[in-house]
Chains A and B, each alone.
Chain A
Amino acid sequence: MTTAAGVEAPSNPYGPPRLVHPLRGLLDVYLTEMRIAIAEQIQYRASNYFYMLGMVAEPVIYLVVWSTVATQQGGSVGGYTIGALAAYYIVWTLVRNINIVFTPYGWEWRIREGQLSAQLLRPLFPIVEDLGFFLGWKPVVVLLWLPIAFFLAVVFHPTITTSPLAILVFAFSLLGAYLIRSLNQSSLGLITFWTTRVGPVFQLYIAAELLLSGRLVPMSLMPAWVQTVADFLPFQYTFGFPIEALVGNLTNEQLLNGLLMQVFWIAVGSVLVRVVWHFAIRRYSAVSG
Chain B
Amino acid sequence: MIDSAVFVDDLRKTFFVPVREGGLGAAFKSLINRETKAVPAVDGISFDIEPGEVVGFLGPNGAGKTTTLKMLSGLLFPTSGIVRVLGFEPSRRESAYLRQITMVMGNRQQLQWDLPALDSYELLRAIYRLHPEDFRRTRDELIELLELGDLVRKPVRNLSLGERMKVETAAALLHRPTVLFLDEPTIGLDLTMQKRIRSFVAEYNQRFGATVLLTSHYMADVQALCKRVIVIHHGRLLFDGDLGALANRFNATKTIGVTLKEGTPDLSKYGDVISSEDGKVSLRVGNAVAPKVAAKLLQDLDVADLTIEDPPIEDVIESVFAGASATPAESEVAEPLAEPAAAEPA
Contacts and interface: CB of A to CB of B under 8 A. Distances in A.
Contacts of A124: 95, 127
Interface string B65-76: 000001001111
Contact of A18 (B75, B101, B105, B134): B134
Interface in A1-22: 1, 3-7, 9-14, 16-20, 22
Interface stretch (B204-212, B237-245, B264-272, B309-317): B204-212
Contacts of B99: 19, 123
A4 B74 contact: no
Interface residues of B, number: 61
Contacts of B125: 28, 32
B284 interface: no
A19 B74 CA distance: 22
A32 B207 CA distance: 30
A39 B115 contact: yes
Contacts of B286: none
A100 interface: no
A40 B115 contact: yes
Contacts of B128: 17, 19, 122-123
A17 B3 contact: no
B279 to A, nearest CB: 50
Contact of B129 (A25, A120, A282): A25
B108 A36 contact: no
Contacts of A117: 70, 75, 103, 105, 108
If over half of A's interface residues share one DSSP class (helix, strand or loop), that class is named, otherwise mixed; here it is loop
A31 B84 CA distance: 35
A62 B88 CA distance: 56
B87 interface: yes
B108 A289 contact: yes
Contacts of B135: 17
Interface in B1-23: 2-3, 5, 15
Contact of A32 (B88, B97, B102, B123): B123
A286 B209 contact: no
A4 B88 contact: yes
Contact of B115 (A7, A19, A43): A43
B259 interface: no
Interface in B107-131: 107-110, 112, 114-115, 119-120, 122-131
Contacts of B109: 113-115, 118
A73 interface: no
Interface string A122-145: 111000010000000000000000
Bin chain A's interface residue count: 35 or more
Given A1-B100, A10-B209, A115-B109, A284 B75 contact: yes
Q: Which of B5, B73, B108 has the most CB of A within 10 A?
A: B108
B138 interface: yes
Interface in B201-240: 207-211
A210 B15 CA distance: 40
The 7 closest A-B pairs by CB, nearest first: A5-B87, A3-B87, A25-B129, A10-B51, A123-B95, A18-B131, A118-B110
Interface of B: 2-3, 5, 15, 51-52, 70, 73-77, 84, 86-89, 93-103, 105, 107-110, 112, 114-115, 119-120, 122-131, 133-135, 137-138, 175-176, 178, 207-211
24 contacts: A3-B88, A4-B97, A7-B87, A10-B209, A11-B52, A12-B208, A12-B209, A14-B208, A16-B176, A17-B135, A20-B131, A32-B122, A32-B126, A39-B115, A44-B114, A117-B75, A117-B105, A121-B102, A122-B127, A122-B128, A123-B95, A123-B128, A282-B77, A289-B108
